[in-house]
Amino acid sequence: MAQARPLVLTQGDPAGIGLELALTLWRDRAACRTPPFAMIASPGAVEVRARLMNLGVPVRRIADPGEAEAVFEHALPVIDHGCDADAAPGKPEPATARGTIRAIEMAVDLARSGAAGAIVTNPIAKSVLYAAGFAHPGHTEFLAALAGDPPPRPVMLIWSEMLAVVPVTIHIPLARVPAELTTRLIVETAVIVAREMRLRFGIAEPRLALAGLNPHAGEGGALGAEDAAVVAPAVEALRALGIAATGPLPADTMFHARARAGYDVALTMYHDQGLIPAKTLAFDEGVNVTLGLPFIRTSPDHGTAFDIAGKGVARPDSLLVALKLAGRLAAAGAS
């Protein structure tokens, strides 16, 4: 088996909890079995946060992710993004946006060049980036733009050991979902999911369960026509492509333990239909995985948490799972 390439972790917003979670996971690396990673950040800002929180974590600058594994035993390896602006915990500053953006750009360059096996991204605050002129709707769209021309179509997977779920429509108002939801969109999303489940997760014949849009999957048309007119044809098209798809299924009976045993990934028709069960079942262990990119990207399934940054109460569970899953996927790709 080939050696998996190293993981890189972006700084995220330095006023949020990303820096302290990375420091905590290094400090507790033996107990947590933290996989080695290189962080892309300002080494000075990381050192300041370590001192501020009395974490006692030594920081060592490195130039290449390949140095991370050897350094990780003794210090937290940091690749300098060259932007020195810092922010106090819980006090976001637009001046730090350039460093946040540069860390993402460098991580993608390292992944595309083969120097890194996977990217793990700490949370960003879009409002801070917008104030500095950031032109992308969010993290995922920026990663897709950096991935190639034309940009690939990214798909958001929320993954945990208990449930993997993909919302077909994501960050749009609920009132717009029926108009935005099309058979083509469902099929395109499901094809990407099935391919990535085979390629990244090693599931030879992934089973996809598609939720209905309406209560009771439309109740034979009595509660809405979209399930018969839009979702059911997508299931038929997927089956014609050789993909094991079922649905449309009533969403209120899809997520109990017995139902989950019957599929590998649930595709829901809108954001909260999927993320409510995902976060209920595994709030601290959920990982955001971007499918459809030419590299592996995972992220903790939480935000910057400015309100608790620097207070020593943030839990590193989701970041740890994101790092472990990235390492697992990178190792599978290297085999």
Each residue of 201-241: pLDDT tens digit? 999 999 999 999 999 988 888 888 999 999 999 999 999 99
What's the pLDDT at 58?
Answer: 97
Structure tokens at 33: 């079995």
Per-residue pLDDT band at 270 (split at 50, 70, 90): very high
What's the pLDDT at 332?
Answer: 83
| CATH level 2 (architecture), domain 7-152+293-334 | 3-Layer(aba) Sandwich (3.40)
Other C-beta atoms within 10 Å of 54: how many? 8
- pLDDT over 90 (residue 246): yes
Distance CA(64)–CA(321), nearest Å, equals 24
* Sequence-distant (≥ 6) Cβ neighbours of residue 108 within 8 angstroms: 119, 143, 146, 147, 295
How does 246-263 read in b/e, with b if 16+ C-beta sit within 10 Å? Answer: ebbbbbeebbeeeebeeb
- pLDDT over 50 (residue 1): no
Q: Which of 66, 2, 80, 1 is nearest to 37 (CA)?
A: 66
Q: Which stretch of DSSP H or E encloses residue 23?
A: helix 18-27
- pLDDT over 90 (residue 5): no
- pLDDT over 60 (residue 3): no
Q: Which of 332, 302, 323 is nearest to 9 (CA)?
A: 323
Calculate what percentage of the chain has a pLDDT beyond 90. 85
Distance CA(84)–CA(77), nearest Å, equals 17
Q: At what angle do helices 18-27 and 317-334 cross, to 10 degrees?
A: 70
**DSSP-based helix, strand, coil % in the chain, nearest 5:** 45, 15, 40
Structure tokens at 280: 């209920």
What's the pLDDT at 256?
Answer: 96
Residue range 162-279 forms a domain whose CATH class is alpha beta
Q: Which of 302, 306, 296, 325 is nearest to 108 (CA)?
A: 296
What's the pLDDT at 219?
Answer: 86
Distance CA(36)–CA(199), nearest Å, equals 23
- pLDDT over 90 (residue 134): no
Residues of the chain with CATH 3.40.718.10: 7-152+293-334, 162-279
Distance CA(317)–CA(327), nearest Å, equals 15
What does each C-alpha distance from 175 to 100, 172, 185, 220, 321 come to in angstroms? 33, 8, 17, 22, 34
- pLDDT over 80 (residue 177): yes
Tally: H helices and E strands in the chain = 14, 12
Each residue of 289-300: pLDDT tens digit? 999 999 999 999
